[in-house]
Structure 1
Amino acid sequence: MIDNRELPIGFTMELAQHSDIMIQFSGLSKEEQNRIIDGAKDIVSRNEMRSYVESMFGEPKTSFF
């Protein structure tokens, strides 16, 4: 949780797959984190969430899975 707010599960799972993005996300201000979290709440598909997380800090990470 961030400031007693639950993170969307899909968002959390994607951050776990992108440790570099998770590190950058954790370095943001609380206001910036909350804005990104609020945006993640409207996402319904796994592919959309992956794109959302990958777009937070630039180039998408390639994956073999």
Structure 2
Amino acid sequence: MIDNSELPIGFTMELAQHSDIMIQFAGLSKEDQNRIINGAREIDSRDEMRSYVESMFHEPKTSFF
């Protein structure tokens, strides 16, 4: 699946709370996963990370891809 050493801890924790999103994320290409992970590295607060993860697949793909 995904090497957790590459993921920001807050991102990992939020994915764990949203198994449906985690499954969708795992199905992305490595390139698309890296774009999302890089975006997660820019987030400083728990609330922002929650919003980021929850919106990953609810906004138009152009937001993340």
Class of the TM-score when normalised by the shorter of the 2 chains = 0.7 to 0.9
Structural RMSD (CA): 1.5
Unaligned regions of 5+ residues in structure 2, if any? 60-65
Counting matched residue pairs gives: 57
Q: Which runs of 5+ in 1 are unaligned?
A: 60-65
**TM-score, normalised relative to structure 2:** 0.82
Q: Matches of residues 1-65 of structure 1 in structure 2 within 5 Å?
A: 1=3, 6-58=6-58
The residue type equivalent to 2:25 in the other structure is F
1:6 Cα deviation (Å)?
A: 1.4
- Hey, which of these two has a bigger chunk of helix by percent? 2
Distance in 2 between residues matched to 1:39 and 1:58, nearest whole Å: 16
Post-superposition offset of 1:23? 0.2
In structure 1, C-alpha distance between the alignment counterparts of 2:20 and 2:10, rounded to whole Å: 17
**Alpha-carbon deviations, 1:29-58, whole Å to 9, x = none?**
000000000000010100000000001011
Give identity over the alignment, percent.
81
Deviating 4+ runs (over 6 angstroms): none
Provide the TM-score with structure 1 as the length reference.
0.82
